[in-house]
A and B are shown apart, each in its own frame.
Chain A
Amino acid sequence: MSLLSGHGIDYRIDSIQILEAIDIRVDAGELVGLIGPNGAGKSSLLRLLTGVEACTQGEVRFDDLPLGQISAALRAQRMGYLVQGAMAYWPFSVEKVIELGRIPYQKWWQQVSSDDQKIVEEAMTKTETLAYRNRIVTTLSGGEQTLVMLARIFATQPDLIFADEPVAALDPYHQLHVMEILRGHATAKRAAIVVLHDLGLAARFCDRLYLLNHGRLHCSGSVSEVLTRENIAEVYGVDSQIDCNEKGISVTSLSRISDHHP
């Protein structure tokens, strides 16, 4: 049984078609990559799958229940959503930001309990953010901030993590660190779905890929099925070289294809 599935998802904003007829599923233990050019609808799809926005047509099911039938609080406990460019608007300490991850378990009058505190410590250990727990989050580097935001999600202890371009502006060290953490999460009954622009990282870490183009699903499947020269040429409009060796698949963009109209 899939942990999360979407069937025939349509999404329109003011009669502009953003997504059309998308079928998608995430199984337990999987790290699923969502790839495609800018404006393909990746972030929109993620928002629909998390339930932050509602589909115009179609249905999203989590644990075989329609999203609408799961209470907002339970959804918030079982799914963690790392928005693109996540940031804190007030100069919170790192630890305080991570404590926010316990909100879905608190009633409106409740404070952080000692149990919560323990879970927050674990989340900091897992993301290696303990060292700067007392620093102000807005003064951290981009890579450190992403790790803190990820730790906030781990403090919620969700089954499914949605991450929207978590490594977009990070250096290679932090890119690998974030991807390793997400990979580590996607085991046993848990899973993660991540929007990526870096096809090399997608090839290296993801179990399956969904390639979106103009709001439609171009193709989906294993890394070697999706990342072909033909698919990349058709969707991204670039000529590429794909190397397979014992270390995995790497994708190099060579040149733009002149007759491609994005």
Chain B
Amino acid sequence: MNIKALKASTLYGILLPVLLLVLALALNVGPVDIDPGKAIQDWFNDRITIESLILFDVRLPRSLLAMLIGATLGLAGASLQGLLRNPLAEPGIIGVSNGAALGAVIVFYYGIAGVAWFLLPLGGLIGALVAMLVIFLLVGRNRSIITLILAGIAINAIGGALIALALNFAESPYAMQEIVFWLLGSVSNRSVNELYIAMPFMLVGWGMILYCGRFLNALTLGEETATSMGFNVARMRLVLILGVTASVGASVSVAGNIGFIGLVVPHLIRPFVAYEPRRLLLSSAITGAILLLVADIVVQVFSDNGEMKLGVITALVGAPFFLFLILKSRNVLQ
């Protein structure tokens, strides 16, 4: 069987215009119909109107956040699948997602989420950091990738158990509902503040992950060969995991757990980059951004009373789609 990769110019020539198109579409969608032309005019003329407020203070931060989170999940999924050489890896596998979620849930649990807007994302970031520290204490200098995966599963389980504990003893049904809804994952009602707190971590994380691209290619031939090709495998692995922790931790901190984007997107793109882990990175990031924006549009269009959460739709569509992809590609990935 032959697999011919798309040229980089063709691939990005398709993905980037689609991303811009979807972004434009997302800015046009919302519970209130507004004239975007008038909103932009008002904004440039420093007139604060309903239109300009909705476009620039509500829809733009929300869409940008969806884009950044989608890109983070796509990038993190692609890089972890490359690192573990396992197409079933997803951003949550190293325990960071549940760590961040737990941090946020603790903020909810003590009812201080409303005290200041930054407490929730801060709790998430601290949770992600703690999860990562525990993982590094466990794996430390151990070279085995299996230990890393198992430690991640354990951290996820501990995070899940503590979240369950918090739900169990939640003060009121209302508090419980608040936690559950937050956990489902959403980018609605977010402001530029969330964007500002998450973006630096994401950008630094992306940089670290992209820096590992060449290393991921070398890893295709195994760790020993990668070492002989001049890579310090332990150090590169650390850089990559730190990058994933920073970017995914920031994502979960502002938007909760949004599943399946990180798992499905690399599978979708892989045939078009001839399975090359390095080329998979950037293309998965853009595709992740597109898909999460689309999901957020769907969520807004199809909710009448009470919005469907973003994480629900990505799971609803992503899980069966993932099954389909596995059935389709089982011959290639023996």
List residues of chain A with CB under 8 Å of any chain B CB: 47, 50-52, 72-73, 75-77, 79-81, 83, 86-93, 96-97, 100, 103-104, 106, 108, 134-136, 138-139, 149, 152
Contact = CB atoms under 8 A, between A and B. Distances in A.
A136 B219 CA distance: 17
Given A103-B214, A135-B2, 19 more contacts: A52-B227, A52-B228, A75-B230, A80-B228, A81-B224, A83-B221, A83-B224, A86-B222, A87-B222, A90-B85, A90-B276, A91-B332, A93-B2, A100-B217, A100-B221, A108-B213, A136-B1, A136-B2, A152-B221
Contacts of B333: 91
B225 A104 contact: no
A76 B230 contact: yes
A94 to B, nearest CB: 11
7 contacts: A81-B224, A81-B228, A83-B222, A83-B225, A83-B228, A89-B220, A93-B3
B276 A96 contact: yes
Contacts of B85: 89-90
Contacts of A89: 85, 219-222
A50 B221 contact: no
Interface residues of B, number: 29
Contacts of B229: 76, 100, 103-104
Contacts of A88: 220-221
Contact of B228 (A76, A92, A97): A76
B224 A92 contact: no
A36 B185 CA distance: 60
B168 interface: no
A79 B218 contact: no
B274 interface: yes
A138 B334 contact: yes
Nearest to A50: B228
A104 B221 CA distance: 14
Interface in B209-264: 211, 213-214, 217-222, 224-225, 227-232
B218 A100 contact: yes
Contacts of B228: 50-52, 76, 79-81, 83
Given A83-B222, A100-B220, A134 B277 contact: no
B232 A106 contact: no
A106 B334 CA distance: 31
Contacts of B227: 52
Contacts of A76: 228-230
B230 A90 contact: no
B276 A92 contact: yes
B5 to A, nearest CB: 8
Interface of B: 1-4, 85, 211, 213-214, 217-222, 224-225, 227-232, 274-277, 332-334
A134 B2 contact: yes
Nearest to B218: A103
The 10 nearest A-B residue pairs measured at CB: A76-B230, A81-B228, A72-B230, A89-B85, A90-B275, A73-B230, A52-B227, A76-B229, A108-B214, A83-B224
B232 A86 contact: no
Contacts of A106: 214
Nearest to A71: B230
A28 B283 CA distance: 45
Contact of A86 (B1, B217, B225, B277): B225
B209 to A, nearest CB: 12
A109 B80 CA distance: 19
B220 A90 contact: yes
Q: Which of B227, B230, B334 has the most CB of A within 10 A?
A: B230
B230 to A, nearest CB: 3
A34 B225 CA distance: 20
Given A76-B230, A89-B85, A91-B275, A52 B211 contact: no
Contacts of A86: 221-222, 225
Contact of A92 (B4, B219, B220, B231): B220
A80 B222 CA distance: 14
A97 B220 CA distance: 9
Contacts of A75: 230
Given A52-B228, A72-B230, A83-B225, A92 B213 contact: no
A51 B4 CA distance: 36
A135 B232 CA distance: 31
A223 B325 CA distance: 56
Contacts of B224: 47, 52, 81, 83
Contacts of A96: 274, 276
Contacts of A50: 228
Contact of B3 (A52, A73, A87, A91): A91
Contacts of A83: 221-222, 224-225, 228
B330 to A, nearest CB: 12
B61 to A, nearest CB: 31
Greatest chain A CB density within 10 A among B221, B277, B332 is at B221
A149 B332 CA distance: 20
B145 to A, nearest CB: 12
A97 B332 CA distance: 16
